[in-house]
Copies of this chain bind each other. A is one copy, B any other.
Amino acid sequence: MGVEMSGNTFGKLFSVTSFGESHGPAVGCVVDGCPPGLALSVSDIQAELDRRRSLIETSLSYRNEPDQVEILSGIFQGRTTGTPIALLIRNQDRRASDFTRIDRVFRPGHGDYSYQAKYGIRDHRGGGRASARETVARVAAGAIARKWLNETYGTVIRGRVSQIGEMVIPLRDWEDATRDNFFLGDRNRVDDVAILLDHFRQSGDSIGCRLEIVADGVLPGWGEPVFDRLDADVAKAMMGINAVRGVEVGDGFAAVGQRGSEHGDEMSPEGFLSNHAGGVLGGISTGQPLVVSVAVKPTPSVHLPRRSVDVAGNPVVLRTRGKRDPCVGIRAVPIAEAMLAVVLMDHALRDRGQNGSVQESRMKAPFFRALA
């Protein structure tokens, strides 16, 4: 749902234009379309950036300073003015020495080869634009969306890791889904996961995971049929996160094995009686919680030998060195939350544009209130 051609803008009315490479001077974004009057400070954004930093990243010596965001525009006397909000995060460590070995080879599972094919040139340092470093910009933008949604509609967006490899982690309590708990949602499983991650760290391999993102307080009526369905834009937002390979809304792939009499959510005067749809029908929100599930592939950089080629087409064997996240998907939790916030805010504003008068009356109708 981005609107310019080269794909670095997401959102139509609330839109985020991202820039920056892993080892260039900075990453950041321009957030356009934010309504005026929202109280916004550096700390609102900084809190989300800190959540994004993985535990491994925090412990790494070469990037041990927190990401400091600077607001360059769009704020006056502590409030948004309706003009673009530019956010800047300097890259603290830009030592290129680590990357001399990868400038002429294509790492398996990375975008090295496809970038080279597309542009005929690539900034190989740390993965350049393809690095997860870029997601700092998304988390920063998402912090604004999250705050506006919460203050305007009471919307709350939460995410967690619901599965790592074969280990399924049922939700115990959303309060447990903190960064220190690997965003698990069950503090009692933290030790299990720590052991599992250590295992992969020591074996030099990595593992995939599944995330669950839920938005409560979504008003009915958000989403634009037919192409810009709310769930379609959510799917795009999630699949656009580095390493994501699958997206589900509501029951997702479980619906393949379900019957219509089971899947279709019945209604009563008090509201819906189930939520197999995950909060979206016909591409438009129903007012029920929006439930999204995401598959994240294992970190492609492993310490095991991997066959590849160099830019001249000669065979090589690669082996990544140094500290690496064995499960890169864990820190995607705040990124997925941020993208969901951006999608929801964009659609809330778009709905107000076309259906502003309906939006008002909608909230006054007793029945919709009951369901919402």
Contact = CB atoms under 8 A, between A and B. Distances in A.
Contacts of A117: 220-221, 284, 286-287, 362, 368
A263 B109 contact: yes
B255 A245 contact: yes
Given A20-B86, A302-B260, A282 B5 contact: no
Given A119-B358, A236-B1, A209 B256 contact: yes
B36 A17 contact: no
A313 interface: yes
Given A163-B256, A247-B246, A297-B255, A79 B121 contact: yes
A315 B229 CA distance: 28
Most B C-beta atoms less than 10 A away, residue of A260, A354, A355: A260
Interface in A175-232: 200, 205-210, 220-229, 231-232
A4 B306 CA distance: 43
Given A255-B298, A358-B36, A114 B12 contact: no
Interface string A1-20: 11111111111110101111
B123 A72 contact: no
A171 interface: no
A224 B84 CA distance: 11
A119 B260 contact: no
Nearest to A278: B245
B35 A355 contact: yes
9 closest A-B pairs by CB: A111-B282, A7-B228, A109-B264, A7-B224, A353-B353, A206-B260, A114-B284, A236-B236, A313-B367
B245 A240 contact: no
Interface in A260-307: 260-269, 273, 277-278, 280-287, 295-302, 304, 306-307
Given A118-B220, A313-B370, 6 more contacts: A79-B121, A82-B118, A119-B358, A245-B249, A245-B252, A246-B249
23 contacts: A3-B4, A4-B13, A6-B32, A6-B82, A18-B226, A24-B74, A25-B71, A25-B73, A110-B281, A111-B284, A114-B280, A120-B355, A164-B256, A200-B259, A208-B255, A231-B240, A235-B235, A252-B295, A263-B298, A266-B307, A268-B315, A353-B353, A353-B356
B266 A108 contact: yes
A366 interface: yes
